Amino acid sequence: MTVQNGGDGFTSEERFEDLFEAYNRESADMLCAGDTVEGKVIAVGADTVYVDTGTKIDGAVDKKELLDDDGNCTVAVGDTVSLYVVSATEDEVILSKALSGRGGTDAIATAHATGTPVEGRVAEVCKGGFRVRIAGKLAFCPISQMDVAFIEQAEDYVDKSFTFIVKRFEENGRNIVVSRRELLEAERNAARAAFFDTLEIGAVMDGRVAKVMPYGLFVELVPGVEGMVHVSEISWSRVSDPSEAAAAGDAVRVKVLSVGQAEGGKAPRIALSMKQTEDDPWSRVADTLKAGMQVEGTVARCTDFGAFVEVMPGVEGLVHISEISYVKRVTRPEDEAPPGTTVFVSIKDVDLQKKRLSLSIRDAKGDPWADAATRYPAGKPVRGTVEKVERFGLFVSLEPGVTGLLPRRRLQDRPEGAAVERLKPGAQIEVTVLAVDMAARKMELGLAEADAEGEMTTWKEAPASNGFGDLGEKLMAAMQKQKP
């Protein structure tokens, strides 16, 4: 028999079903400490951020927990956040990024059962790790579980608060083991996944030098993700030792050149460049360097065939070994232009297409043969130094870069010829210029004529040649003697 209830139109059976369903809905809306809540930010106050928990009661989280290192709030109205329930009553729901000291042993047990992070403060260093105070209890954190990086100074972690995962909870809280590394690795993996989702070739980003190797720099782009800057990509200027360009911990700006395929569970290889974040210095060469100019540069390196000179940052040119000196024969460029020295060079040619500069050190210093015919006309007596003795004659240096040959045939009819032939390199000798060949850069010398006192005669301008050479001159002299 169905009983009517007070004339409200519902039977007692129907009213019971409605009340039971309502009770179930309210029970479903109940939140417990340790629950995870993912909801949207509905308001940001001066000290508190309010979140829609999906229940009748909005959650509140201390705004300090959502500030970055610069003190700026990291969320705004409409953002979705994931937080943990610290406590829940009929009047309020307190949220946090991690369970804190509230709740004591029960809270730690709940955190262990649900995998909820807890906040703890490192109390001291102990054998094998650290003692961490969590909700009034002391827990043990192995040193290997405190950080993802190798810990050199364990004392640096003392008196600092971190978030941990409860890995072991035994004997009603007398044996608690926690780990911070697991959380850090989870955060790093999430950051890596997000990073690779948005990574693009050509992107320019800031990073930190993680390691310096002889072949380049490893740069950390986000926690757990590194790329390599090959030594050739560090600077437009030549770098032989990466440690001279950067050190571990330095902030650098890099450009992504390529991203390889991930193999064997390893992260993809990322090729980076530091120099390509700047303009190619060769783009300024056309307006800056011209053939014929003389500029100052620094010897970057030497090879068997010459020296490379940096004339502006990132722009090098070659001084061929034959262009190093006019005054001596160069066999080792590093002897005349050691790396690191400053030199003046003359620009012989600019090839913008091939990015090549032809330079000359000797042209910048001046060619001593340039006016040799003027300074050493035929017939001029000069003092020189024996440079080398050969079978066919003596090479005599008149000045650095200008050397003439005194042939042995010029000594045969001279009384002092035998003594001259015995001279050693370095000996001083008086000679007369007989002929200068500017095209071949050669000079023929003879012994200087001596006056009655044995001194070298004063030079007078040589008479014009009759065009018949030595034999013609002798014939002319003989004919003059036969005239009455």
Please report, for the domain that includes residue 266, its CATH number: 2.40.50.140
**What pLDDT is recorded for position 113?**
86
Q: Is the pLDDT of residue 301 over 80?
A: yes
pLDDT digits (tens, 9 = 90+) for 171-220: 888 899 999 999 998 888 888 888 888 888 999 999 999 999 999 999 99
Question: Which two tokens mark 7?
Answer: 């004339």
How far is residue 10 from each of residues 1, 15, 20, 21, 91, measured CA to CA in Å? 14, 6, 15, 16, 32
* Least confident range of 24-33, 51-60, 95-104, 350-359: 24-33
Selected residue with higher pLDDT from 476 and 89: 89
> What is the spatial distance between Cα 372 and Cα 435, in angstroms, rounded to a whole number?
11
In-domain check, residue 16: no
Q: For residues 286 and 273, state if they share a domain.
A: no
**What pLDDT is recorded for position 472?**
42
In-domain check, residue 434: yes
Domain end position, chosen among 300, 332, 364: 364
At residue 30 the predicted structure's pLDDT band, cuts being 50, 70 and 90, is low
At residue 471 the predicted structure's pLDDT band, cuts being 50, 70 and 90, is very low
Domain end position, chosen among 160, 184, 208: 184
In-domain check, residue 396: yes
Calculate the average pLDDT of the chain: 82
Q: For residues 268 and 295, state if they share a domain.
A: no
Q: For residues 122 and 176, state if they share a domain.
A: yes
> What is the spatial distance between Cα 44 and Cα 31, in angstroms, rounded to a whole number?
22
**What pLDDT is recorded for position 416?**
86
Q: For residues 295 and 351, state if they share a domain.
A: yes
Q: Is the pLDDT of residue 138 over 70?
A: yes
**What pLDDT is recorded for position 454?**
40
Other CB atoms within 10 Å distance of the CB of residue 68:
8
Q: For residues 176 and 127, state if they share a domain.
A: yes
pLDDT digits (tens, 9 = 90+) for 247-262: 999 999 999 999 887 6
* Least confident range of 96-105, 314-323, 370-379, 389-398: 96-105
* Least confident range of 151-155, 208-212, 263-267, 334-338: 263-267
**What percentage of the chain carries pLDDT values higher than 70?**
84
In-domain check, residue 171: yes
Q: Is the pLDDT of residue 459 over 90?
A: no
At residue 266 the predicted structure's pLDDT band, cuts being 50, 70 and 90, is confident
In-domain check, residue 1: no
Mean per-residue pLDDT, 430-453: 81
Q: For residues 144 and 207, state if they share a domain.
A: no
At residue 29 the predicted structure's pLDDT band, cuts being 50, 70 and 90, is low
Q: For residues 339 and 386, state if they share a domain.
A: no
Mean per-residue pLDDT, 93-121: 77
Q: Is the pLDDT of residue 111 over 60?
A: yes
Mean per-residue pLDDT, 418-432: 91
SS3 state of residue 473 = helix
Q: Rounded to the nearest 5°, which phi and psi values hold at 461?
A: -60, 130
Q: Is the pLDDT of residue 424 over 80?
A: yes
At residue 166 the predicted structure's pLDDT band, cuts being 50, 70 and 90, is very high
Q: Is the pLDDT of residue 16 over 70?
A: no
Mean per-residue pLDDT, 303-309: 93
Its pTM stands at 0.50
> What is the spatial distance between Cα 137 and Cα 176, in angstroms, rounded to a whole number?
8
In-domain check, residue 454: no
Q: Is the pLDDT of residue 153 over 70?
A: yes
DSSP string for 361-427? HHHHH--TTTTHHHHS-TT-EEEEEEEEEETTEEEEEEETTEEEEEEGGGTTT-TTHHHHHTPPTT-
Range of the domain at 350: 281-364
Q: Is the pLDDT of residue 80 over 80?
A: yes
Q: For residues 295 and 265, state if they share a domain.
A: no
Q: Is the pLDDT of residue 323 over 50?
A: yes
Residue in 319, 308, 311 with CA at minimum distance from that of residue 289? 311
Q: Is the pLDDT of residue 24 over 50?
A: no
Q: For residues 273 and 315, state if they share a domain.
A: no
Domain end position, chosen among 311, 336, 364: 364
Q: For residues 289 and 259, state if they share a domain.
A: no
Selected residue with higher pLDDT from 383 and 412: 383
Q: For residues 306 and 346, state if they share a domain.
A: yes
At residue 460 the predicted structure's pLDDT band, cuts being 50, 70 and 90, is very low
**What pLDDT is recorded for position 475?**
43
At residue 480 the predicted structure's pLDDT band, cuts being 50, 70 and 90, is low
Selected residue with higher pLDDT from 306 and 94: 306
**What pLDDT is recorded for position 283?**
85
**What pLDDT is recorded for position 262?**
67
In-domain check, residue 211: yes
**Rounded to 5°, angle at Cα 310 from 304 and 313:** 150
Q: For residues 269 and 341, state if they share a domain.
A: no
Indicate the length of the chain as a whole number: 484
Mean per-residue pLDDT, 134-151: 89
Q: How many domains does the chain have?
A: 5
Mean per-residue pLDDT, 344-359: 91
Q: Is the pLDDT of residue 457 over 80?
A: no
In-domain check, residue 46: yes
